[in-house]
Amino acid sequence: MPPPTATLSVPSSSSPSLFPLSSFSSSNNPHVSSFCPAPPTLPKFPSLSKPKTPLRNLTPLSAVSIEKETLISERPHTFLREADGGDDGSVRSRFQRMILEAQESVCAALEAVDGAGKFKEDAWTRPGGGGGISRVLQDGAVFEKAGVNISVVYGVMPPEAYRAAKAAADDQKPGPVPFFAAGISSVLHPKNPFAPTLHFNYRYFETDAPKDTPGAPRQWWFGGGTDLTPAYIFEEDVKHFHSIQKKACDKFDPSFYPRFKKWCDDYFYIKHRGERRGLGGIFFDDLNDYDQEMLLSFATECANSVVPAYIPIIEKRKDTPFNESQKAWQQLRRGRYVEFNLVYDRGTTFGLKTGGRIESILVSLPLSARWEYDHKPEEGSEEWKLLDACINPKEWI
């Protein structure tokens, strides 16, 4: 069963909690049940004023299994190891080229619509091969914070990181697992509360045989998605966004959009709140049951659809007048964004458990967010309508 839906109502002070903790179970979709496990139990966080556990101890030393990055002044031609053949037409090589080109096109479009902000770029490598390019625009005219990162990483996953990267219960490899991972990841937080946040991520994984099972076959899979997180609903904007996702999916398989749209609604579920992070889009993971060339083309099409899906919405909403109350609501929804990313997101978990570059991993977090005690929007208000759509996912097209 998918995460529960509910009728949104504003209870009195004597009513039970609006968002009761409820058991999470995966969808009837076999891919969701296989690869999207129930989110972990929400941990009890210590006092922020007197932390009991130093932050540096949250990632065990034994889990740090990729080499420390080194900042470089100029980006290299490739982040691939020489043993991979460089730009040889392999899937690794072509996926690297795709994410580099997508980063360029998305950043150019964002700078153009912002008009003032410019991306700061950090390029980095690791001694054993791999590296990445982190680009961040902060305090622009339109965007509070926009990050567009690419990475090509080699390493050895400890078992807990392998479970975060590939959550199939019947496919747990023993011991540390050598891996290759490449991807582009982006989160865009506009200043205007009527302009939506966007997240997209497309990635390719390969794992080699662990040392204690030599000769085991190499495994590969694709993952990713694009999803929209507004603070206010403009139905024409949401329909436009979803129509672009459907168009990209339909070029390859008409079952992709409904399947990946539901997967997105289920994945971005904040269990402890009883609501979704936003208004969805598409999401898929551990995808390897189609031809590899077809899936590479599909991931490329999805990445190339980001600009036409998002920029027209930003151009329409970036200058809309707003008041302090509407800005405060945006900040409350940003708080939900932070909660999901730090508690449930598999990409964040994987990065932290493999000793990834912290600035790149946490670039998704906004500059500002807000938490209010027991906040409930007035029933029938525009804020209430957004929350209702997050609790009860809709079919937008």
Beta strands in the chain (DSSP E): 70-72, 120-125, 130-138, 143-157, 177-190, 197-207, 219-229, 269-270, 275-276, 281-287
| Pick from 216, 220, 210, 215: nearest CA to 176 | 210
How far is Cα 202 from Cα 21, in angstroms, rounded to an integer? Answer: 31
Give the list of residues 6+ apart from residue 68 with CB closer than 8 angstroms, or none. 126, 355
CB distance 88 to 94 below 8 Å: no
Q: Which amino acid is at 197?
A: T
CB distance 238 to 230 below 8 Å: yes
| Pick from 127, 224, 222: nearest CA to 185 | 224
How far is Cα 177 from Cα 109, in angstroms, rounded to an integer? Answer: 38
How far is Cα 67 from Cα 5, in angstroms, rounded to an integer? Answer: 44
| Pick from 270, 286, 279: nearest CA to 341 | 270
Hey, is 97 helix, strand or coil?
A: helix
CB distance 182 to 203 below 8 Å: yes
Look up 189 and say whether it is catalytic: no
Catalytic residue among 199, 240, 272, 375: 199
157, exposed or middle or buried, with CB in 10 Å at 0-12, 13-18, 19+? buried
16, exposed or middle or buried, with CB in 10 Å at 0-12, 13-18, 19+? exposed
Residue 380 — left, alpha, or beta (φ > 0 → left; ψ -120 to 50 → alpha)?
Answer: left
Cβ neighbour number for residue 2 with a 10 Å cutoff: 16
SS3 sequence, 237-275? HHHHHHHHHHHHHHCCCCCHHHHHHHHHHHHCEECCCCE
Q: Tell me which residues are annotated as active site.
A: 199
